[in-house]
Structure 1
Amino acid sequence: MNEIYVVGGRFRGNMFRKLEEWQSCKEARIIQLDPTTKTSRSCVEYVSPPHVCPEELPAILFKSATLRGNKLYACTSTEILVYEVPSFCQASYISLPCFNDLHHVYPSAEGTLLAAVTGLDMVVEITMEGKVLREWSVLGEDPWVRFSREIDYRRVPTTKPHRSHPNHVFQLQDEIWVTRLQQRDAISLTRPGRRIEIAVQRPHDGYVFGDSIYFTTVDGHIVIADRKRLQIKKVYDLNQMGSSGQILGWCRGLLPLDENRLWVGFTRVRPTRFQENLAWIANQAQRHRPSHIALYDLGRGACLEEIEMEPHGIGIVFTLFQIQPRPGASGCQAPRDGEIAGEFDAFGRWDTAR
């Protein structure tokens, strides 16, 4: 089964004004894409209710999601939604006043949810019922020193510029980590002082695969760190693996197929008044690629395939994943007696040995 699921949002077109990032999308989407036939089908088309959004032109899209077992943990800028897979029936919903520009939701080893609240430079741990258990400022300060508990931040269009911009949460055993865009690193929230420097450029995603942690950087690098030594092992520049000479786009979304081959997501670079966010583009006049996903062979240093996403209704790409139907399961049903015991691994494969 080689279908790829792409998580993101559909662009909002406006010919009369330039839209900022927090206004850019009109619909959160998940599609199933067949790389062989280049065809797709829509799995989820979602629009947030007005009471959890800013009043004018809210950006409605799915940010970084996490597949765990037969559930997909997804988030919009102000909500957490949990879907059963492969049916994509909604199983849970959480929205809290502190949610502003959520970028990632991650189910912890303890059964709670960890959310990167990018708009408040914060990570929160909550129960599945929405009770806040812990809050961390990713800058090591009081989480509320610059913000107010009395404000419903779901209704605030943006808190930019961000001092840190946390993007992606992951765990090393029971230790909670987060990537920080502005500081070019990943830090431990539960063991302060432990840090992985990602000096080549500002990081976005951080995924644990085996003994390694794979990071994406916004300009198209794949950075691989040793999860035990917390040091960088390899750095790959995807810009050197193609022949177009164009700006690949904002790089986020990673799906390894094996040790060398992986799919990577890229989002079309759009104008913003926060030009520091585009400082990684050396030549602003250089042509920008449309939003697309690409298959790379790191061992060969080659781009094997590219698929544009905008014709499939995805303008902003955040997450790529694969799933395989659990044997004997269908629809939004609980496991039945006699089903084969197992669990999806990090690559979306069904593993009966777990």
Structure 2
Amino acid sequence: MSKVYLVGAKLKPKILNNWELYEQGIILELDVINKSIKHKVSYFSPPEVCPPLNASISFTAATLSEKKLYVGTHTEVLTYNNRFEKENYFSLPMFNDIHHVKPRENGNLLVVNTGLDMVVEVTKSGEVVRYWNIAGENPWDRFNEKIDYRKVPSTQPHKSHPNFVFELNDDIWVTRCLQKDAVCLNDPNKKISIGRELIHDGVRFSGKIYFTQVDGRIVIVDEKTLKVEEEIDLVKITPRNQKIGWCRGIMPFKNNFVLVGFSRVRPSREVMPDGTVKWKGQYGHMPTRLACYDLSCRKLIWELNLEKYNMNAIYSIN
């Protein structure tokens, strides 16, 4: 592993609602040996696939497969080749708040359509093959097939907030952030229970599945038993007094090392008793960064500040 791709977004200069935060998608290339970073892509979604006012534009969790990077924005799916030329593109009216895109061996793509609490399987030309509601409901009970959800700024509150999809033994699995678990779409009786805090990821490596929790924990699950084997609290092994950040994005590699992404805590709006508005977060917290940990000795090895490269949120490490 010599090159790693970091996928995320640049913040707008003005503090806005959570669904209005970002102004462009960003992809960076990291040379792991010398820790150098190159900017590869800045992306702006076209107006026709965005809400009309204060649209948030970002890349979300991607998948690198056979020298191609499959990545979503909130309303689009793009494929880049190894020269970072856009090779494929589509956008569907049902897309709202996409969180992850993953290719399948059959040539189709799995798209985590978070805004509609769905996972959608589509062909590479954008034809819908099938879809699943992650809350166990009829997919269109709460939503309307005739609405262009790309124009809807937010569908919150979500019931499950799916955010990452992976395959295991021909089964399709998806993480449910709000239920703090991962469920099998082929067999609803199969579930990986994690609990405690909101989860992201679901990265398979060497017989294990690696999940992150937003407050800075790594949860490692055995693929065969689907049981939690280990939990590592990164807060305790990160020598900082400030808030560690929003933990999301993980890449395990040899010798029990992992790369982990941390995004600066996003601003949140609080209405005070006197009616004034106070914004919390964003400043006074650790910057968006990539960190390398040795899990064997529970040690932070190095960190890279990504904000100097205009990346203020990181979604995946590929």
Same-fold status (TM-score > 0.5) = yes
1:291 maps onto 2:318 in alignment:
no
Aligned to 2:75: 78
Q: Which 4+ runs in 1 deviate beyond 6 A?
A: 283-286
Describe the SS at the equivalent of 2:231. strand
For 1:153 and 1:133, how far apart are their aligned partners in 2? 19
For 2:46 and 2:126, how far apart are their aligned partners in 1? 18
1:247–1:286 contact (8 Å) kept in structure 2: no
What CA deviation, in whole Å up to 9, does each residue of 1:175-231 have, x standing for no partner?
A: 000000000000001111100011132111111112111111111111110111111
What CA deviation, in whole Å up to 9, does each residue of 1:246-277 have, x standing for no partner?
A: 211111111222141111000001222499xx
2:220–2:228 contact (8 Å) kept in structure 1: yes
What CA deviation, in whole Å up to 9, does each residue of 1:79-133 have, x standing for no partner?
A: 0001111x11111101000000000011112211111100001111111111111
2:3–2:29 contact (8 Å) kept in structure 1: yes
5+ unaligned residues in a row in structure 1: which ranges? 276-282, 322-354
**1:40 Cα deviation (Å)?**
2.4
Q: How many residues align?
A: 310
Aligned to 2:5: 5
**1:5 Cα deviation (Å)?**
1.7
1:161–1:274 contact (8 Å) kept in structure 2: no
Q: 1:37 to 1:209 in 2, by over 3 A?
A: closer
Aligned to 1:48: 45
Q: 1:274 to 1:202 in 2, by over 3 A?
A: farther
For 1:63 and 1:184, how far apart are their aligned partners in 2? 20
5+ unaligned residues in a row in structure 2: which ranges? 272-279
1:225–1:234 contact (8 Å) kept in structure 2: yes
Aligned to 2:240: 244
For 1:312 and 1:284, how far apart are their aligned partners in 2? 21
For 2:208 and 2:172, how far apart are their aligned partners in 1? 16
For 1:37 and 1:25, how far apart are their aligned partners in 2? 29
Aligned to 2:180: 184
Matches within 5 A, 1:1-354: 2-14=2-14, 18-34=15-31, 38-85=35-82, 87-273=83-269, 287-321=284-318
For 1:228 and 1:27, how far apart are their aligned partners in 2? 40
Aligned to 1:352: none
1:222–1:235 contact (8 Å) kept in structure 2: yes
2:266–2:281 contact (8 Å) kept in structure 1: no
**1:21 Cα deviation (Å)?**
2.1
For 1:232 and 1:190, how far apart are their aligned partners in 2? 21
Q: 1:274 to 1:136 in 2, by over 3 A?
A: farther
What CA deviation, in whole Å up to 9, does each residue of 1:135-177 have, x standing for no partner?
A: 1010111011000001000011111111110000000021000
2:211–2:219 contact (8 Å) kept in structure 1: yes
Aligned to 2:276: none
What one-letter code is carried by the residue in structure 1 that aligns with 2:304? I
Describe the SS at the equivalent of 2:236. helix
Describe the SS at the equivalent of 2:53. coil
CA RMSD, Structure 1 to Structure 2 (Å): 1.9
For 1:106 and 1:37, how far apart are their aligned partners in 2? 29
Describe the SS at the equivalent of 1:22. helix
Q: 1:284 to 1:81 in 2, by over 3 A?
A: closer
Q: Percent identity, please.
A: 44
What CA deviation, in whole Å up to 9, does each residue of 1:18-54 have, x standing for no partner?
A: 3122211111111113456554221111100000001
